[in-house]
């Protein structure tokens, strides 16, 4: 029997770091700990013991390319890396490459970040030098958000779902079609203010513009369904904000409903902001 794999996912939200320790094995992800801190040096060693660290990468630092690949390619990972390097005119040794399976046999999202950029991000989070890119793992923040949402939240219902996480610095945007991620994007936070009543209408216009642009691209790609629901979470987002947004969109605005069956019993009575742990959970369970 293979030993369980332990990962610690860490995501920066503004001035705080949110983290999750997850043990994966036998087809199940078990949450061992959720914690948040201001400085990595303050983390108790036992929370990190035996685990591999995975960090979120700001969406703005990641290059996303839609790739069409041969179905059933046995060298898919290498082919995706090759295609990204060709598109970006960059040597593979300088890039960290990732991908997202869109559920369509020949279509993938290729993700790339320059190793030097990731090393700088990692050193700011960990507070120490990072010798090589293989020392810790990484994933685009929006991709990790999608992983956490799909693995740890209850299904929203409908075929085409939009997911928005408002975070200091930037807003992660994900589109999910029939349980698979089909698009990853972001909006600079300075362009959206969902916490100011006076600017909510302008924020809704920015979101509508992005959503309509993406829906048009989906239509041209063969997905002609309207958006089923829009899940809006994050800093400063509450039910009142969602109700206000509901008047601006012709679609239901929802909160993410965390599946508490994944939580250890000691957390069941705590009022944790579980939606803010979706990115570190996605990192740790990936």
Pair 170, 226 in one domain:
yes
Residue 147 lies in a domain: no
Closest CA to 187 of 218, 159, 208, 160: 208
Residues 236-263 have a mean pLDDT of 89
What's residue 270's pLDDT?
Answer: 78
Residue 184 lies in a domain: yes
Residue 65 lies in a domain: yes
Residue 150 lies in a domain: no
Question: Whole-angstrom Cα distance, residue 59 to residue 64?
Answer: 9
Residue 148 lies in a domain: no
Question: Whole-angstrom Cα distance, residue 100 to residue 62?
Answer: 13
pLDDT in tens, 79-89: 889 999 999 99
E-assigned strand segments in 141-281: 160-167, 170-177, 180-188, 229-234, 252-254
Tell me: pLDDT of 74 over 90: no
Chosen domain end from 142, 165, 194? 142
Closest CA to 121 of 190, 56, 52: 56
Q: What is the mean pLDDT of the chain?
A: 88
pLDDT in tens, 119-171: 999 988 888 777 655 668 999 999 999 999 999 999 998 999 999 999 887 89
Tell me which range, 14-28, 45-59, 174-188, is most confidently predicted by mean pLDDT: 174-188
Chosen domain end from 107, 142, 177? 142
| CB contact set of 235 (below 8 Å; sequence gap of 6+) | 13, 14, 166, 167, 168, 195, 276
What's residue 183's pLDDT?
Answer: 97
Pair 33, 110 in one domain:
no
> Exposure of 182 by Cβ count < 10 A (0-12 exposed, 13-18 middle, 19+ buried)?
buried
Residue 196 lies in a domain: yes
3-class DSSP state of 65: strand
What is the band of 257 on the pLDDT scale with cuts at 50, 70, 90?
A: very high
Pair 199, 247 in one domain:
yes
pTM to 2 decimals? Answer: 0.93
By the 8 A CB rule, do 177 and 152 touch?
A: no
Domain count, the chain: 3
pLDDT in tens, 174-215: 999 999 999 999 988 766 666 555 567 777 888 888 899 999
Domain coverage including residue 71 = 59-142
Residue 137 lies in a domain: yes
Residue 238 lies in a domain: yes
Pair 251, 161 in one domain:
yes
By the 8 A CB rule, do 22 and 6 touch?
A: yes
| CB contact set of 109 (below 8 Å; sequence gap of 6+) | 64, 65, 66, 67, 99, 100, 102, 181, 183, 184
What's residue 191's pLDDT?
Answer: 62
> Exposure of 180 by Cβ count < 10 A (0-12 exposed, 13-18 middle, 19+ buried)?
middle
Pair 161, 246 in one domain:
yes
How is the beta sheet containing 137-140 ordered, strand by strand? 28-37, 16-25, 5-13, 52-57, 137-140
Place of tokens 């909160």: 255
Residues 258-273 have a mean pLDDT of 85
Chosen domain end from 77, 112, 142? 142
Pair 50, 65 in one domain:
no
Pair 138, 100 in one domain:
yes
Pair 117, 197 in one domain:
no
Which CATH number is 251's domain given? 3.30.420.40
HSE-CB of 28 using CA atoms within 13 angstroms? 7
Percent of the chain with pLDDT over 90: 55
Burial 43-59 (b: 16+ CB within 10 A, else e): beeeebeebebbbbbbb
Pair 249, 271 in one domain:
no
HSE-CB of 239 using CA atoms within 13 angstroms? 1
Pair 12, 73 in one domain:
no
Pair 63, 104 in one domain:
yes
Pair 249, 161 in one domain:
yes
């Amino acid at each position: 029997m293979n030993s369980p794999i332990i990962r610690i996912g860490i995501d920066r939200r503004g001035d705080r770091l949110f983290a999750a320790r997850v043990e994966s094995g036998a087809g199940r992800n078990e949450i061992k700990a959720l914690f948040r801190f201001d400085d990595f040096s303050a983390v108790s060693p036992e929370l990190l013991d035996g685990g591999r660290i995975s960090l979120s990468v700001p969406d703005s630092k990641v290059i996303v390319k839609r790739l069409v690949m041969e179905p059933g390619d046995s060298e898919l990972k290498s082919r995706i890396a090759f295609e990204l390097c060709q598109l970006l005119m960059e040597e593979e040794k300088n890039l960290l490459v990732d991908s997202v399976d869109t559920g369509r046999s020949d279509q993938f999202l290729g993700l790339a970040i320059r190793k030097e950029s990731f090393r700088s991000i990692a050193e700011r989070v960990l507070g120490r030098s990072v010798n090589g890119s293989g020392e810790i793992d990484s994933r685009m923040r929006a991709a990790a958000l999608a992983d956490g949402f799909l693995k740890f939240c209850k299904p929203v219902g409908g075929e085409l779902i939009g997911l928005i996480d408002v975070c200091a610095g930037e807003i992660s945007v994900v589109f999910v079609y029939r349980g698979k991620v089909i698009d990853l994007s972001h909006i600079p936070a300075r362009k959206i203010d969902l916490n100011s009543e006076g600017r909510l209408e302008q924020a809704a216009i920015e979101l509508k513009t992005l959503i309509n642009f993406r829906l048009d691209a989906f239509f041209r790609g063969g997905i002609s369904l309207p958006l089923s629901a829009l899940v809006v979470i994050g800093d400063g987002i509450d039910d009142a904000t969602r109700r206000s947004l509901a008047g601006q969109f012709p679609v239901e605005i929802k909160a993410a409903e965390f599946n508490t069956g994944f939580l250890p019993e000691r957390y069941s009575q705590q009022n944790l902001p579980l939606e803010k742990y979706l990115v570190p959970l996605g990192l740790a369970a990936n």
